[in-house]
Structure 1
Amino acid sequence: MADLTPDRVRELEQSHLVALSSNDLDTLDRLYAADRVHIHYDGRREDKATYLAPLRSGEVRYVALEPYGEQRVWAEGSTGVVTGDLAWRAETSARGSVDGLIAYTSVWVDRGAGPVHLVWHSSPTPRRPA
């Protein structure tokens, strides 16, 4: 198991956002830990399968994920954490185009088989892009 560095955590986070905004489900499936937890800005909690299901079915498609403001990255041993602000836009079958601004925390961990994304937690933010 290799220690994560801040630069490696930044690369992983960028890969995650690119895969999500390009609907690259194979990459997301590989990046996401089997026990991943996603906590949406409205408090909904989803496991890996539940989170990926609407992406697979086409119910939801993220079309823009744009970090803004300060992004902070920490790495300690086999764990990496990213916090920042993100402007997002998605196309949904139920509500059409939706968007928002969130503050988020993203957790990466290497358990010995390479780093995986373990936790995403977001909440609405009043901070606006510059």
Structure 2
Amino acid sequence: MTVADSLEDLRARVLAADEARYQALYAQDGAALERLLAQDYLHTHANGKTEDRAAFLATILAGRFRFVDAVRTAQQVRLAGGAVVLSGKTTTTLDVGGAPRVMRNAFVTVWVEAAGGPLQMLHWQATALPDA
């Protein structure tokens, strides 16, 4: 990301990259996720468990759960040095062994530009939201 990027252009790029990541999660597309996740990616679940890139990809590809839907709201995009921070709220529906599970989380993601220009997610952090 350069200073020349407008905030709207940056917002559009990061939201498109994040949507591509969700589509890869829905499809359990390991190749797409490998392109979208930085080599030193960390995924911190709402329960506090943290997985590195290899462990997260193994979890997704093992099919222990399947992403069905993720409705994101209150999304904010901020530039922080050479990184982009995307935060907001999500209501995510998973299929866990044939049973639906809905999670409501606040999230923060950090995106960086890979060599050659594509955005890659460096970090995901979720915090469970209290029941309404």
Matched position secondary structure for 2:33: helix
> Distance in 2 between the 1:104 and 1:9 partners?
14
Q: What is the aligned partner in structure 1 of residue 78 from structure 2?
A: 74
Q: Are residues 1:83 and 2:87 paired?
A: yes
> Distance in 1 between the 2:65 and 2:29 partners?
13
Q: What stretches of structure 1 of length at least 5 have no aligned partner?
A: none
Q: What is the aligned partner in structure 1 of residue 26 from structure 2?
A: 21
Q: What stretches of structure 2 of length at least 5 have no aligned partner?
A: none
Matched position secondary structure for 2:59: helix
Q: What is the aligned partner in structure 2 of residue 106 from structure 1?
A: 109
Deviation at 1:22, TM superposition (A): 2.6
Q: Are residues 1:63 and 2:68 paired?
A: yes
Q: What is the aligned partner in structure 2 of residue 52 from structure 1?
A: 57
> Distance in 2 between the 1:74 and 1:21 partners?
26
> Distance in 2 between the 1:8 and 1:127 partners?
32
Higher relative contact order, structure no. (Cα contacts within 8 Å, ≥ 6 residues apart): 1
Matched position secondary structure for 2:72: strand
TM-score, with length taken from structure 2: 0.83
4+ residue stretches of structure 1 with deviation over 6 A?
A: none
What amino acid is the match of 1:44? Answer: K
Does the CA contact (< 8 Å) of 1:78 and 1:111 recur in 2? no
Query: Equivalent pairs: percent with the same residue?
Result: 27
How many residue pairs are counted as aligned between the two chains? Answer: 125
Over aligned residue pairs, what C-alpha RMSD do you find? Answer: 2.0
Deviation at 1:88, TM superposition (A): 0.7
Matched position secondary structure for 2:47: coil
Which has the higher mean CA deviation after the structures are superposed, 16-25 or 80-89? Answer: 16-25
> Distance in 2 between the 1:9 and 1:78 partners?
13
